[in-house]
């Protein structure tokens, strides 16, 4: 895919008991093992979120970001969105508008561009959404 | 002697990636529309359109064969990937690579495909090790000859030498027609202009590319013209593009197992802007090739920022062009 894929899915911000979440789209034309995915940055209203408070959810499974590199049998399918969950209760309440920032990288495990170097695309997105 | 209609028309479902991603078309829709366009050979990418791969259910394969029967289509080629950088901190071992290739050969066989596209990064010795399995599953493996590689690169030569040594009819090549890029694709040039490149510099780069006489001094020349970062990025693209004289295909004719009919922009007059199909198809007939040419539309990514992508119309035009060049009535 490419430039037209918006990383943060429209209208996906949700407030929950244990924090808030929003969804992200896969910016590539084929599914990738989750071991190829990295979350580089999440920010709420221009304040960076410590990444150890972020969880990545796909296919009904939830992972701490540090676990992703080991999850090579879990695939992120092109049509599915993944959920980024931030374990910060009370930061986002239903009905509130918030500015979200996300930055993710996808390493394409089949496109080698040098000794132990593989093509890696970084996608960033900023979006203001009203939580549900 | 060449005979009409020995070459068959097909499509790679890669062509419809935009509509599939946006959920405007399902896998079945992609097959149905291909049949309607006369692209009766279906090439597929499991990682793109078959959720759950590599663990697909029997029910999925039953549906697949049901669609082939319903729409009168034939499975042609499975496009495999080799995710060598899947594991943390290390590359796949030879045993793991071979296991991955065999896994894909089994999948191709279950789909009913008789060809498997091997991604260009597949090492030659892994192709050799997999040859007996390819025979077992009756799936010919073709290494994809895809820009920036062409027949003269050491990596491709190593493959060709390996195939000659092994001597298996199950090892071959799948030339991607993007190696015959005669002109710089207009959809890509236009996109650079939209991103802020200078129109006169973009034109200069297109002119230099079209001469196929090398790009020595190009960067200095466009810097002197006031090039910005986008102009320089476009000049850099040329390093990843190739123009091979189409008659080179004749040297490799017995090895061709399948053709990727790459295209970026089909014009209303039934020609491709940058790839000279009117020169290529007669050569393929002269080669005695009797497999499938799969239409493979890749212009989507260059226009999606401003236009609604209509992959089906682009494939329709490409198929009409192939039918004309193949002498179909």
| Angle, in degrees to the nearest 10, between helices B277-286 and B311-325 | 50
Mark yes or no for CB contact A110/B81 under 8 Å: yes
Contacting residues of A for B45, CB less than 8 Å apart: 30
Separation in Å, CA of B141 to nearest CA in chain A: 17
Q: Give the DSSP per-residue string, B283-327.
A: HHHHTT--SEEEEEE--HHHHTTTS---HHHHHHHHHHHHHHHTT
- Say how far apart CA B261 and CA B24 lie, in whole Å: 24
The pLDDT score that the predictor gives to residue B214 is 86
- pLDDT of res. B298: 94
| Average pLDDT score over chain A | 92
For A80, the token pair is 């599915």
Do the bridges between strand B292-297 and strand B259-263 make them parallel or antiparallel, or are there none, so unpaired?
Answer: parallel
Q: By three-state DSSP, how is residue B49 classified? A: helix
What pLDDT score was predicted for residue B329? 64
Contact list, B60 vs chain A (CB under 8 Å): none
Task: Give the per-residue pLDDT at B49.
Answer: 96
Closest CA of chain A from B149, distance in Å:
13
Q: For chain A, say whether B301 makes contact (Cβ under 8 Å).
A: yes
Which 8-state DSSP code applies to residue B256? B
The packing angle between helices B124-136 and B94-111, to 10°, is: 40
Decide if B60 contacts B52 (C-beta within 8 A).
yes
Q: Given this model, what pLDDT does residue A114 score?
A: 83
Give the other-Cβ count within 10 Å of B165's Cβ. 11
pLDDT in the model for residue B305: 77
- Rounded to 5 degrees, what are φ and ψ at A91? -70, -35
Beta strands across the sheet bearing A54-58 = A14-16, A19-25, A81-86, A54-58, A61-64
Q: Which of A75, A79, A109 sits opposite B85 (nearest CB)?
A: A109
Q: Which residue among A30, A72, A112 sits closest to B47, beta carbon to beta carbon?
A: A30
Residue B169: count other Cβ atoms within 10 Å of its Cβ: 13
* pLDDT value of residue B141: 98
- Strand pairing category for B171-175 and B140-145: parallel
- C-alpha–C-alpha distance, residues B280 and B202, integer Å: 27
* pTM for this model (two decimals): 0.91
Give the tens place of pLDDT for each residue, A52-84: 999 999 999 999 999 999 998 899 999 999 999
Alpha-carbon gap, residue B327 to B329, rounded angstroms: 6
- Record: contact A112-B84, CB cut-off 8 A: yes
Q: How far apart are CA A15 and CA B55, in angstroms?
A: 34
Q: Which residue, B110, B11, B96, B112, is CA-closest to B53?
A: B110
B304 touches chain A (CB under 8 A): yes
Contact B91/A at CB under 8 A? yes
Tokens of B90: 């290390």
Interchain proximity A4–B83, CB inside 8 Å = no
List CB contacts (< 8 A) between A70 and chain B: 88
Burial class (CB in 10 A: 0-12, 13-18, 19+), A26: buried
Please report the domains of chain B, with CATH numbers, ordered by start residue.
Answer: 8-181+242-325 (3.20.20.150), 186-236 (no CATH)
How much is the pLDDT for B1? 43
Q: pLDDT at position B4, please? A: 47
**How far is the alpha carbon of A3 from chain B, nearest alpha carbon, in Å?**
7
Instruction: Identify the bridge partners of residue B263 per DSSP, sorted by sequence position.
Output: B297
A1 pLDDT exceeds 60? no
Output the six-digit token pair for B124.
């030659």
Quote the distance between the C-alpha of residue B1 and its chain's center: 27
- Rg of chain A in Å (alpha carbons): 15
pLDDT for the residue numbered B302: 82
Classify burial at B15, counting beta carbons within 10 Å of its beta carbon; exposed 0-12, middle 13-18, buried 19 or more. buried
What string of pLDDT tens digits covers the 329 residues of chain B?
445 458 999 999 999 999 999 899 999 999 999 999 999 999 999 999 999 999 999 999 999 999 999 999 999 999 999 999 988 788 999 999 999 999 999 999 999 999 999 999 999 999 999 999 999 999 999 999 999 889 999 999 999 999 999 999 999 999 999 999 999 999 999 999 999 999 999 999 999 999 998 888 999 999 999 999 999 999 999 988 999 999 999 999 999 999 999 999 999 999 999 999 999 999 999 999 999 999 999 988 788 877 788 999 999 999 999 999 999 86
Distance from the B27 Cα atom to the nearest Cα atom in chain A, whole angstroms: 12
Per the CB < 8 A criterion, the answer to whether B244 and B179 are in contact is: yes
Q: Is B20 on the interface with A (CB under 8 A)?
A: yes
Asked whether the beta carbons of residue A109 and residue B305 sit closer than 8 angstroms, the reply is no
Question: B251 at the A interface (CB within 8 A)?
Answer: no
Q: What is the ipTM of this complex?
A: 0.85
CA angle B237, B16, A125 (to 5 degrees): 60
Both tokens of residue B95?
A: 């045993």
| CA A51/CA A48 separation, integer angstroms | 9
Q: How many beta-carbon pairs under 8 angstroms link A with B?
A: 70
Q: Which residue does chain B place closest to A111, by CA atoms?
A: B121
Asked if A31's CB is within 8 angstroms of B53's CB, the reply is yes
A123 and chain B in contact, CB less than 8 A: no
Residue with tokens 């073709």: B142
């Amino acid at each position: 895919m490419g430039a037209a894929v918006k990383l943060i899915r429209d209208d996906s911000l949700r407030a929950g008991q244990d924090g808030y979440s929003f969804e992200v789209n896969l910016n590539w034309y084929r599914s990738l093992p989750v071991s190829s995915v990295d979350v580089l940055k999440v920010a709420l209203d221009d304040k960076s979120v410590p990444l150890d408070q972020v969880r990545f959810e796909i296919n009904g499974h939830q992972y701490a970001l540090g676990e992703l590199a080991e999850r090579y049998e879990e695939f992120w399918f092109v049509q599915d969105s993944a959920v980024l969950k931030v374990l910060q209760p009370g930061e986002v309440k239903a009905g509130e508008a918030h500015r979200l920032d996300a930055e993710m990288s996808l390493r394409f495990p089949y496109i080698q561009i040098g000794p132990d170097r593989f093509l890696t695309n970084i996608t960033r997105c900023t979006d203001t959404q009203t939580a549900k | 002697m060449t005979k009409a209609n020995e070459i068959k028309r097909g499509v790679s479902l890669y062509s419809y990636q935009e509509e599939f991603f946006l959920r405007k078309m399902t896998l079945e829709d992609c097959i149905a529309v291909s049949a309607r366009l006369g692209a009766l050979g279906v090439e597929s990418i499991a990682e793109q359109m078959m959720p759950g791969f590599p663990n697909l259910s029997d029910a999925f394969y039953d549906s697949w064969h049901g669609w082939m029967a319903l729409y009168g289509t034939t499975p042609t080629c499975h496009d495999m990937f080799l995710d060598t950088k899947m594991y943390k901190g290390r590359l796949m071992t030879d045993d793991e690579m071979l296991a991955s290739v065999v896994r894909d050969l089994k999948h191709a066989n279950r789909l009913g495909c008789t060809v498997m596209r091997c991604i260009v990064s597949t090492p030659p010795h892994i192709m050799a090790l997999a040859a007996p399995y390819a025979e077992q599953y009756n799936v010919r493996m073709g290494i994809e000859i895809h820009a920036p590689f062409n027949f003269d690169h050491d990596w491709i030569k190593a493959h060709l030498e390996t195939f000659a040594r092994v001597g298996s009819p199950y090892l071959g090549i799948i030339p991607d027609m993007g190696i015959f890029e005669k002109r710089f694709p207009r959809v890509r040039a236009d996109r650079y202009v939209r991103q802020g490149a200078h129109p006169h510099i973009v034109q200069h780069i297109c002119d230099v590319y079209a001469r196929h006489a090398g790009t020595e001094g190009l960067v200095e020349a466009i810097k002197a013209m006031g090039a910005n970062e986008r102009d320089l990025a476009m000049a850099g693209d040329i390093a990843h593009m190739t123009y091979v004289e189409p008659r080179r295909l004749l040297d490799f004719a017995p090895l061709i197992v399948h053709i990727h009919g790459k295209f970026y922009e089909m014009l209303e007059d039934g020609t491709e802007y940058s790839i000279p199909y009117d020169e290529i198809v007669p050569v393929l007939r002269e080669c005695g090739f009797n497999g499938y040419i799969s239409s493979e539309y890749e212009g989507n990514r260059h226009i999606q920022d401003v236009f609604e992508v209509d992959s089906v119309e682009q494939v329709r035009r490409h198929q009409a062009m192939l039918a004309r060049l193949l002498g179909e009535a």
